[in-house]
Amino acid sequence: MLKTNQNSVEQQIEIADRAIMEKDYDMLMSIYTDDAVLVVEPGRNARGKEQLRNAFVKISEFFNNGLRVEQNGLEVLESDDTALVLANTVVSGPDFPAVTRKATYVFKKSEDGVWLCTIDNSYGHEIIGNAIA
């Protein structure tokens, strides 16, 4: 049973980043809406928690199970129950030098007042010209 939390969007992102690094996919999925979209790579999206969970497992494997994620600068713009996050997301892993992505995330406040990620696009503008038809 999830307790209602009153975390800020920033705190939800910290929880998600930690969950990714600890491979705690139940915790990670609790930060997303049921119909959330994740840009797995430009041109390839996952939709819904089952696809998202599978994608995160594969991404972790790709990074030799040592994926590290941190935010090097982040701003949140809130409008009512919607929030847009602009972030410099730094991704690295064993034998993977750090890469900074101009990430864009959209959060939505649930009826219980919990901020949940509904669009996760760590590639930002890189998806232009690469989107799924």
Nearer to a copy of itself, 36 or 55 (CB): 36
Q: In the set 31, 91, 121, 122, which binds a copy of itself (CB under 8 A)?
A: 121
Q: Evaluate whether 98 touches 131 at the Cβ level (below 8 Å).
A: no
Please report how many Cα atoms fall inside a 13 Å half-sphere around the Cα of residue 56, on the Cβ side: 26
Task: Determine the Cα–Cα distance for residues 32 and 126; give it in Å rounded to an integer.
Answer: 22
Stretch 86-105 residues interacting with a copy of itself (CB under 8 A)? 86-88, 102, 104
User: Does 106 interact with a copy of itself (rule: CB under 8 A)?
Assistant: yes
Task: Determine the Cα–Cα distance for residues 17 and 68; give it in Å rounded to an integer.
Answer: 8
User: Does 17 interact with a copy of itself (rule: CB under 8 A)?
Assistant: no
State in angstroms the smallest separation of the CB of 75 from a copy of itself: 4
State in angstroms the smallest separation of the CB of 130 from a copy of itself: 8
Nearer to a copy of itself, 97 or 129 (CB): 129
Task: Determine the Cα–Cα distance for residues 28 and 24; give it in Å rounded to an integer.
Answer: 6
Separation in Å, CA 13 to CA 44, 124, 132 = 22, 16, 26
Which residue type sits at 113?
A: G
Q: Evaluate whether 118 touches 32 at the Cβ level (below 8 Å).
A: yes
Q: In the set 41, 50, 75, 112, which binds a copy of itself (CB under 8 A)?
A: 75
Q: Which residues bind a copy of itself (CB under 8 A)?
A: 33, 35-37, 39, 45, 47, 73-80, 82, 84, 86-88, 102, 104, 106, 108, 118-119, 121, 124-125, 127-131
